[in-house]
Amino acid sequence: MEKLGFEAVILHERPNKGRTIITKFREEAADIGFALVVMTPDDLGKPNDDSEPKPRARQNVVFELGFFIGALGPERVAAMVKGDIERPSDFDGVVYISLDKEDWPTKLGQELQAAGYEIEWNKVMRP
């Protein structure tokens, strides 16, 4: 995001200021126009009726995805996925951007452009 000239707000790097996590999310979300949620296979989980655990994103990341979809609208949230992870069922049908494919910068640029941001495509295409 910074390579494209946008200010990245990384929540865990922001001061807590004595706020609860939900207050921190609400206040930080009030000043942003687009959220990028990176989902990596950091946990294992399974439904009760399944025998094998599957890779999934950490539960706080799934919460953050839902929070930002609610706060900003799905058109202003990009979910980027690394690996073959379990995806939230309430978010089925939504296209995820795969970090495993070489064209992920282009896909992210397209999402930002669709949300109304000007994109300098020469910066996106630069390695």
Residues with a known catalytic role:
64
Beta bridge partners of 71: none
Query: Is residue 110 within a helix (H) or strand (E), and if so which, with residue range?
Result: helix 104-114
Is-contact 56 89, C-beta < 8 A? Answer: no
Mind giving me the DSSP string for 35-77? EEEEE---EEE--TT-SS-EEE--HHHHHHHHHHHHHH-GGGE
